[in-house]
Structures are given as structure tokens and as C-alpha cells.
């Protein structure tokens, strides 16, 4: 019995009706991982423990919402007694003594963590080409990138290996790979999901979130991932609603903003057509579109690439070859230990961002760069606040285009521009979702919706309405097992 491309809802129904056992489901998931290992979506598998938990669930059935559902965990979440590498040589042998709150919450809801997915090193990248463990391949085409940094999670869901996976989003790292792989992914409001145990890249921007085939499945996952966590000082002490409640309510009368400053004429005409077709579809559902102005939005990418590297250089200073992580052989002295351990442990993109971050935080340049970037960030947030006085949501393409070939984008600045539409939501701490809305040259594209703080339920509602009346989220790649 095939479990490939099934949703959480479908798998849960199969388990409850005894159409398949927990052990059979978990075993078949590992068979799919083996069949599509050429995608390089996983770094470390959790096979023995996963099968034991599945057998226990067969003996003692559970009514938990995620009981028996195999979920792939991004390798940025520390997982007790399971190697956690962050896609880096620096942590190639790191076995954490505890699990991240996200992992604990999902496993408490009954899920089976099947393994850790490949990712850009320390979540720094937009194509999953910076991983120490090699590129992840997009199931939609030969040598296509899956996007980053949550590319392994996106590829695993897109290939139908798992129904859901966890991701993290610092500047678009859930939404961008979701777009390029033709799945659904949401970055919640900053602080909505605990960052405890999520290895930090840029602490004021990082946010965990779910990736799945449908908005409804993402809502099911969000119900369990969210919680106030006293261990995380940025965790919001807010009631967690049932994100699935009212998800299919009609959306007639909603106002969606189109950003005046986003010049779509610079995009490929086919990409623009897909976006315009999505607007027309929403209009057929009773939505009204309103032009809004975000005057400082075009400063988002340069602002992000000052703030994020600055915070990265601070966070990654803990990897010094002393306490844990890569340690060079036979250091001559302490300085040699630091230099060689970090030089051997970090890849080029991580080194690049550490250098940029150290520069903008240095005494002579702090006011000119980092302080100024934080001031511009506040202006961007103010622009969103003003826009949400007029509209309920803001809509844009998720990415500038469809997936590109690995190795085809060698200019780091050009790669940074891949985050053009996604970065603003991170700078403002707002929730954003990407849903499949079309294809260009048989490659998927995503549509981005951004809401005001804590309005994830509205995002799920509007995304679900689109998915109830279109079939883009049901499209699957033509895959050959190897």
C-alpha cells in the first residue's frame, strides 16, 4: 500500500482504520528514504528508535493528533542522543544531551521523528548548496536546487517521503524552498514557536515553522509546535488557538494589499502571469485587492544582510574548538586552536557572513551600519503597521522565479536577492505563508501571503480557500527511484 504523497489527515485516517499499522508506515517511510537517497535530503536517520516507537504505538494506541505520523526534523534542532550537525563540519560529531522544545512538543503529540534533514550550513544560504554534506536535489528536475536553507525538509515533503517536516526561517528559509519545491510552508509570528534548542543564526530573525503539502496540515502541526516556553526569553506568552478551527470559512470581503514598490515588471513574464492568475482566482472568491505603499521595503535586503551577519558573528563565536564542535589536531597555542578549528569547521558562506558581521559590529562602523540598519528595520515595521490599517493581508510572489540549476548562481549578491520578497516579514516579525500557485516550465512557483502579528489563523484560512478551489498543491513530481 503506497503512503507516498499522503497528507497528515490521510495517514491519520489510515492508522485509525487499521488500514496500515504504525510499524508498517514507519518502515515504508524508511524504504522511501532509501529509494530516493539520491536527493540527499537527509543527513542522519533515526531508524532504530523510530521503529521501536512505532511498535509501541501499535501495542498501545493513542488518540494524540500526530500519533504515528513520521516527521522529518531539520538538522538545526538539537535532538537528544541523535547527531545534530547544522549541515556543518563544525558539528559533524555533535550528539546533543537534550532536545529542542519543538522536537519535544511534536513527539509529545505522538509523532515519530525519522531523521534529520540536510540544510545550508548553519542555515546560511538560499539554495542548499552550502551544506558540508553536499547539495540537496529538487525532486522536480535534474540538478535543480530545492531552495534553502530548509531544502532537505522541502525536498523530503515534495518527494512524498514524509507528509510533513520542520523548518526554520530567518530570511525566507521555509517559504522560499516551499515555493521552489511546490509545497506549503509558514513562518509564524516571531516568538510564536520556541527557539530553545534551535541552533541560533540570527536571534532576532530566526523562527521555526512547519512544512507540508497543504495549509491544513501546516495548521495541524502549528497546533502542537506552538507553546509559551520560559526557557526562551523571546517566546510569546499568548494563548495558542486551534489553527484548524474555521479554516474553511468563506473569505468574501477580505482586502488583500498589493505592494506598489514591488516592480513585478522585472520578473519573467510567465512568473507575472502566474501571479496575476492567482489574483483573479482570489477575486472570484470575493477578495478585494488594494494597492498599498511600503516606502522602505526596497531597503529590506541590504538591511537584512547587515543585521543577520552581525548576529551570526556573535552567535557562532561559541564554536571555538574548546567546549564542543570541531577541534583541530595538535594546536600550538590557544590562538592556533581558535584559528584552525574555525577555519576547518566552517564553510565559505559562513566565513563570509562572520567577516561581514564582525566588520559592521566593530567600534568604528557600528553606528554607520548596524545601528542604522536597526533604525531602517523599525521604519519597515512601521510601513507594515500603516498598511494593515487598510488591508487584511499582503500578497506577493514568494520568489523571483522557479528553481534554478545547482552551480548556476555563483555571485553571492545575486543569491542574496533570492530573498527579495521574503526578508521583509522577518525584519518586521510578521507571519508569512507560501502556497503552490502555478508552474513555469514544469517547475512549481509559490504565492506569498503576509499577515499582521499573531494572525496565522487568517493566513491558514485564506491559503486553505485557495487550495480547496485549485489543485496546484496536489501536483507531484515525476520521480524515479534509484
How many Cβ atoms are within 10 Å of 95's Cβ, its own excluded?
14
List the catalytic residue out of 113, 150, 153, 173.
173
CB 188, CB 426: distance < 8 Å: no
- Provide φ and ψ at 307, rounded to 5°: -65, -50
C-alpha cell at 16: 485509525
Rounded distance, CA 231 to CA 9, Å?
A: 32
CA distance 63 to 79: 24
Q: What is the DSSP string of 100-139?
A: -HHHHHHHHTT-EEEEEE--SGGG--SSS---TT-PPPPT
C-alpha cell at 331: 594546536
Catalytic residue among 99, 149, 163, 434: 149
Which three three-digit cell numbers place residue 405? 540549476
In degrees, rounded to 5, the angle at the alpha carbon of residue 153 between the alpha carbons of residues 439 and 381 is 75
Other CB atoms within 10 Å distance of the CB of residue 142? 8
Which uninterrupted H or E stretch holds 377? helix 372-387
d(CA 414, CA 396): 20
Out of 74, 116, 187, 443, the active site residue is 74
- Sequence-separated (6 or more) residues with CB below 8 Å from residue 81: 95, 96, 97
- The SS3 of residue 72 is strand
Q: Is 173 a catalytic residue?
A: yes
At 284, list the grid cell: 472570484
Quote the CA–CA distance of 282 and 312 in Å, as a whole number. 39
Q: Are 309 and 353 in contact (CB under 8 A)?
A: yes
- CA 313/CA 280 separation, integer angstroms: 45
CA atoms within 13 A on the CB side of 55: 7
Write the burial class of residue 88 (CB in 10 Å: 0-12 exposed, 13-18 middle, 19+ buried).
buried
**Angle between the N-to-C axes of helices 47-59 and 22-35, in degrees from 0 to 180, rounded to the nearest 10:** 160
CA distance 115 to 374: 37
Q: Is 179 a catalytic residue?
A: no
Site of grid cell 536517520: 45
Separation CA 100–CA 191 (nearest Å): 15
* Crossing angle of helices 8-16 and 215-225, rounded to 10°: 80
Catalogue the active-site residues. 74, 149, 173
Amino acid at each position: 500500500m503506497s503512503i507516498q504523497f499522503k497528507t497528515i489527515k490521510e495517514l491519520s485516517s489510515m492508522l485509525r482504520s487499521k488500514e496500515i499499522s504504525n510499524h508498517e508506515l514507519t518502515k515504508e517511510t524508511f524504504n522511501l528514504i532509501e529509494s530516493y537517497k539520491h536527493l540527499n535530503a537527509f543527513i542522519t536517520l533515526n531508524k532504530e528508535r523510530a521503529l521501536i516507537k512505532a511498535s509501541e504505538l501499535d501495542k498501545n494506541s493513542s488518540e494524540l493528533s500526530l500519533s504515528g505520523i513520521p516527521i522529518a526534523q531539520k538538522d538545526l534542532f538539537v535532538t537528544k542522543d541523535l547527531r545534530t550537525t547544522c549541515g556543518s563540519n563544525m558539528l559533524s560529531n555533535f550528539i546533543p544531551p537534550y532536545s529542542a522544545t519543538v522536537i519535544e512538543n511534536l513527539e509529545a503529540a505522538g509523532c515519530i521523528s525519522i531523521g534529520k534533514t540536510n540544510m545550508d550550513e548553519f542555515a546560511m544560504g538560499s539554495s542548499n548548496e552550502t551544506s558540508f554534506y553536499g547539495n540537496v536535489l529538487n525532486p522536480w528536475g535534474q540538478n535543480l536546487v530545492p531552495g534553502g536553507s530548509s531544502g532537505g525538509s522541502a525536498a523530503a515533503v515534495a518527494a512524498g517521503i514524509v507528509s510533513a517536516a520542520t523548518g526554520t526561517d530567518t530570511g525566507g528559509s521555509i517559504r522560499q524552498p516551499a515555493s521552489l519545491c511546490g509545497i506549503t510552508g509558514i513562518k509564524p509570528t516571531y516568538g510564536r514557536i520556541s527557539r530553545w534548542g534551535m541552533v541560533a543564526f540570527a536571534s532576532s530573525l530566526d523562527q521555526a515553522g512547519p512544512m507540508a503539502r497543504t495549509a491544513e496540515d501546516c495548521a495541524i502541526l502549528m497546533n502542537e509546535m506552538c507553546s509559551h516556553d520560559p526557557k526562551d526569553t523571546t517566546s510569546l506568552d499568548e494563548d495558542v488557538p486551534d489553527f484548524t478551527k474555521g479554516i474553511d470559512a468563506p473569505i468574501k470581503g477580505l482586502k488583500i494589499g498589493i505592494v506598489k514598490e514591488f516592480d513585478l515588471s522585472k520578473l519573467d513574464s510567465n512568473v507575472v502571469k502566474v501571479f496575476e492568475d492567482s489574483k483573479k482566482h482570489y477575486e472570484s472568491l470575493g477578495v478585494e485587492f488594494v494597492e498599498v505603499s511600503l516606502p522602505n521595503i526596497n531597503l529590506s535586503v541590504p538591511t537584512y544582510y547587515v543585521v543577520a551577519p552581525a548576529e551570526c558573528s556573535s552567535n557562532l563565536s561559541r564554536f571555538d574548538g574548546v567546549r564542543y564542535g570541531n577541534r583541530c589536531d595538535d594546536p600550538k597555542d590557544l590562538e592556533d586552536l581558535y584559528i584552525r578549528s574555525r577555519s576547518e569547521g566552517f564553510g565559505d558562506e559562513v566565513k563570509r557572513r562572520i567577516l561581514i558581521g564582525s566588520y559592521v559590529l566593530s567600534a568604528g562602523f557600528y553606528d554607520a551600519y548596524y545601528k542604522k540598519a536597526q533604525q531602517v528595520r523599525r521604519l519597515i515595521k512601521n510601513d507594515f503597521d500603516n498598511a494593515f490599517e487598510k488591508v487584511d493581508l499582503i500578497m506577493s510572489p514568494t520568489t523571483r522565479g522557479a528553481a534554478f540549476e545547482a552551480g548556476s548562481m555563483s555571485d553571492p549578491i545575486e543569491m542574496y536577492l533570492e530573498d527579495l520578497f521574503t526578508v521583509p516579514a522577518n525584519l518586521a516579525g510578521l507571519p508569512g505563508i507560501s502556497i503552490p500557485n502555478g508552474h513555469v516550465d514544469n517547475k512549481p512557483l509559490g504565492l506569498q501571503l503576509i499577515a499582521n502579528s499573531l494572525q496565522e489563523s487568517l493566513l491558514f484560512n485564506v491559503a486553505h480557500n485557495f487550495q480547496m478551489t485549485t489543485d496546484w498543491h496536489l501536483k507531484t513530481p515525476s520521480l524515479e527511484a534509484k
